[in-house]
Amino acid sequence: MRPFVGAVTRAVRGRGVLVAEVRYRHRGWNGERADAARDAEAALARLRERAGPVPVVLLGHSMGGRAALRAAGDPAVRGVVALAPWCPADEPVDHLGGRRLYLLHDETDRVTSARQSWEFVRRAREAGADAAGIPMPAGGHAMIRGADLWHRRAAELTAALLSHG
């Protein structure tokens, strides 16, 4: 994710925006514990302690996209940019009302399902989210081919979400 951090940092330069990374304590989703989502929620709580009530945009890839979408119910979260996210059919959406969501996915991804991402977008819209699925022309799951486009789109969408009040 470091190239994405750099792209977002450049896109928001001069705007007084903090860009930070969440480090997961454990590998994997780990069933009902959903450790990655808990780590994202803990990071939001620490941010609130340090910076007060600031608008937040979450950006995540694969399981990190799922964690970002799960943590998006936090009142500070303005929106999510999820890259090739893991969106199981039973992933909750009711907490996403009023949030803007962008799910970017290459339909040739063989690790996570673009079809499940598009279905998640549909369900999130029904729950009141402003959600969009954005098909990417290349990159698969690792987002290597066409990486510049992935970086640019993620940075532009993140910056745009921070600009909306």
Chain segment 68-122, per-residue pLDDT in tens: 999 999 999 999 999 999 999 999 999 999 999 999 999 999 999 999 999 999 9
> Homologous superfamily of 2-163 in CATH?
Alpha/Beta hydrolase fold, catalytic domain (3.40.50.1820)
Summarize pLDDT for 129-154 with one digit per residue, the tens.
999 999 999 999 999 999 999 999 99
Distance CA 125, CA 130 (A): 6
- The whole-angstrom separation of Cα 136 and Cα 146 is 9
Domain range list for the chain: 2-163
Angle (CA) 93-24-70 rounded to 5° is 5
Determine what percent of the chain is predicted with pLDDT higher than 90: 78
Q: Which helix (H) or strand (E) holds 61?
A: strand 56-61
